[in-house]
Structure 1
Amino acid sequence: MISSLRIKPYYFYFNDRREKLMNKFIANQNDDNQTLFKFLKKNYKTTPLSVIYKWLRKGDIKINNKRIKDKDYLIKTNDVIVVYDNNKPVLRDDFKKLSNYDIDVIYEDTNLLIVKKPYNVEVHSPVKTSMDDIVKNYLFDTKQYNPSEENSYVISHIHRLDKLTSGLIMYAKNKQTHDIMVEAIQDKDKIEKYYRCRIDVPVTESLVAKGWIKYDPIIQKSVFSEEFRSDYKEATTIFNVVSLDVTNEQTELEVQILTGRKHQIRATLEYYGASIINDSRYSGTIINNNKMIFLFANKLVFNGFEGNLENLNGKIIEIEPTW
């Protein structure tokens, strides 16, 4: 685990007429390669950008006892950053300490955590208890994360799952891992994500669905089309048959998404007339009243990583669907 103690900001008055405060930060490894401007924005969220630019212009910022006016200066571990101004940094208030919580850890190492997200839990929510909140509490309670010791990094999910989708979700324990994993997902070259779903029609052949998709906030669902539309985003999904239940006219599919669009699997299947069971929003057949849709993120495959994440290469993290 990559971590470093942060000395909290402290303040004192100078003996000149301006009586400016001094706010001091010591950068840790989660601040590495972040621009000075971005660092300041994160720590002074309520301060107007015009004021931050003024600090830079007037030389009110010192790093390692040298005045720095370059907003693109790259922060390095152990840099001592001093801001001479009356504006106080905004203390983080996004950590919700939970008295009790349940978490199902599937895989963990010093950099990465993979957990099973339950059905009907948001990945992130400013109001309700989210998966992000649960993971932060787990890492806090196991002494792997302390928000008061971080200048800018907040434990964050690497990818999302819909509220109604359960299954595997990844979290980075440090900024370096988060940036590498997000890039890997965007480049589609190091992480393969697989889902399992059950649909309400019998299917015997595989399908590579290529088209375009758009989320409509008015109807709160995505719309898929095989025809190009300028305001839609490209979407590609691979469907392979796992098993066929002829009696109940149901099919279990393995699904691989090559693009990460909102409700991509659900909207694509609806377009082809093969909706997910219990997915009423996308025309699925309801077979019970627990409202859990039959869609599950069940497998992650890793390859091509270097450095601190090289240990992931060849790993297949897989669990059986629960629905």
Structure 2
Amino acid sequence: MSRLLNIKISDEYSGRIDKVLSDIYPEFTRSFIQKQIEDNNLKANGKTVPAKYKVKLNDIIELSIPAPRQIETLAQDIDIDIVYEDSDIVIVNKPQGMVVHPSAGHDDGTMVNALLYHCKGNLSGINGEIRPGIVHRIDKDTSGLLMVAKNDSSHFYLSNLLKDHNITRKYHAIVYGVIKEDEGIIEKPIQRCQQDRKKMGISQNGKFAKTKYKVLERFKDTTYVELSLFTGRTHQIRVHMTSIGHPLVGDPVYGRKKHLFGLNKQTLHAKILGFTHPSSLNEMYFESEIPIYFKDIIDKCKKI
């Protein structure tokens, strides 16, 4: 069945309607919104508008989400670490090196391929055939906890928790340099780099981003930290820590050209995930063990 969303524009939002709606609903990409506009599934104040339409205060937006098409991505019998599962959600512990969903150069072998097999296709469909069930992503070379929705109502609920910053997400990382302060907060806006669309960077024109860091252990030339996300921008932790002079050890994009121990993957693990369950409304809390690759790097840092 299709789903109708009604949005009243507050003074918090301004600009093109496709960008505004993708900000309000992070689960929808701008290309998805633009496709709905092309298909006449979006109206502003009862009238169809182009993607470049600039919203105004108190505009009433109606967005009709079409019923999901049958998922065509291949289900594959890939061993994955399921931490928790019920009729609404799946919590999975993703290994470093595994891509979350199919993309250019990664047609199969992804977490989505594995989940389709494990869940027998019972995943939310609002993200289409490529990203079924995926509420939020973590990078290929980041390990740790990932939250997955098995139906559309759970997906919308969890996406709104994310949008309202009501999900606890804590990461562990090893960064270069010895951080003097025991903890601190980074508030710097982030946007995609114009020169390299694969990279993000600090820009006053970017989206608000906030990260808290806490020192867990100091070594000779590196620091083991816990990072709490208040927002969820692409590459947020990697960009923020680089911006204060402490890039992640092994980060091939934002780190040093040559890394300790010959690493070419960032040492970043999504360790803690907490949220309110979409059906029971119980408080859920999950914590994963630091993986072996991460422990090995800590041991090596201690020996320097």
TM range (shorter): 0.5 to 0.7
Residue number in structure 1 paired with 2:168:
192
The question of 1:242 aligning with 2:216 is answered yes
d(CA) in 2 for partners of 1:116, 1:293: 17
Establish whether residue 292 from structure 1 lines up as the match of residue 265 from structure 2. Answer: yes
Alignment partner, residue 316 of structure 1: 285
Offset of 1:90 from its aligned partner? 10
1:222 to 200, 203, 207: 200
Instruction: State the TM-score, normalized to the length of structure 2.
Output: 0.67
Asked if 1:259 is matched to 2:231, the reply is yes
Q: Which amino acid aligns with 1:282?
A: Y
Match in the other structure for 1:276: 248
State the one-letter code of the partner of 2:180.
Answer: T
- Equivalent of 1:135 in 115, 119, 142: 115
Shift of 1:122: 2.2
**Residues 153 and 174 of structure 1 are in contact (CA less than 8 Å); yes or no, is this contact kept in structure 2?**
no
Question: Is the Cα contact below 8 Å between 2:68 and 2:128 reproduced in 1?
Answer: no
Alpha-carbon distance, 1:237 to partner? 0.6
Q: Unpaired segments of 5 or more residues in structure 1?
A: 1-26, 36-41, 51-71, 76-88
Separation in 2, partners of 1:170, 1:198:
24
Paired amino acid for 1:265: I
Is 1:204–1:244's contact at 8 Å kept on the other side of the alignment?
no
Mapped partners of 1:264, 1:250: distance in 2: 20
CA distance in 1, matches of 2:68, 2:92: 31
Give the structure-1-normalised TM-score.
0.64
Deviations 1:146-203 (A, max 9, x none): 89xx8997631111112221111110111111100000010012x1111010011111
RMSD: 3.4
Cα deviation for residue 121 of structure 1 reads 2.3
* Alignment match of 1:210 (pick from 182, 187, 192): 187
Letter in 2 for 1:301: G
Q: Which residue type is aligned with residue 281 of structure 2?
A: E
Distance in 1 between residues matched to 2:68 and 2:235, nearest whole Å: 35
Tell me by how many angstroms 1:34 deviates: 4.2
In 2 relative to 1, CA 136–34 (structure 1 residues): closer, same or farther, beyond 3 Å? Answer: farther
Q: Deviations over 1:6-39 (max 9, x none)?
A: xxxxxxxxxxxxxxxxxxxxx5xxx5x447xxxx
Bigger shift: residues 287-296 or 203-212: 287-296
CA contact (8 A) 2:269 2:290 kept: yes
User: Taking structure 1 as reference, are residues 292 and 283 closer, same or farther at Cα in structure 2, changes over 3 Å only?
Assistant: closer
> Rg larger in 1 or in 2?
1
Amino acid at match of 2:212: I
Query: For residues 152 and 268 of structure 1, what CA distance do their matches in structure 2 show?
Result: 28
Deviations 1:36-77 (A, max 9, x none): xxxxxx9xx9xx848xxxxxxxxxxxxxxxxxxxxx8999xx
Q: Could you tell me how far apart the structure 2 residues matched to 1:132 and 1:156 are?
A: 8
Structure 2, gaps ≥5 residues long: 6-31, 41-61, 295-304
Task: Find the partner of 1:233 among 192, 207, 213.
Answer: 207
CA offset at residue 321 of structure 1? Answer: 2.3
Decide whether the 8 Å contact of 2:176 with 2:247 is kept in 1. yes
- Give the CA deviation at 1:134: 1.4
Give the Cα separation in 1 of the matches to 2:142 and 2:268. 6
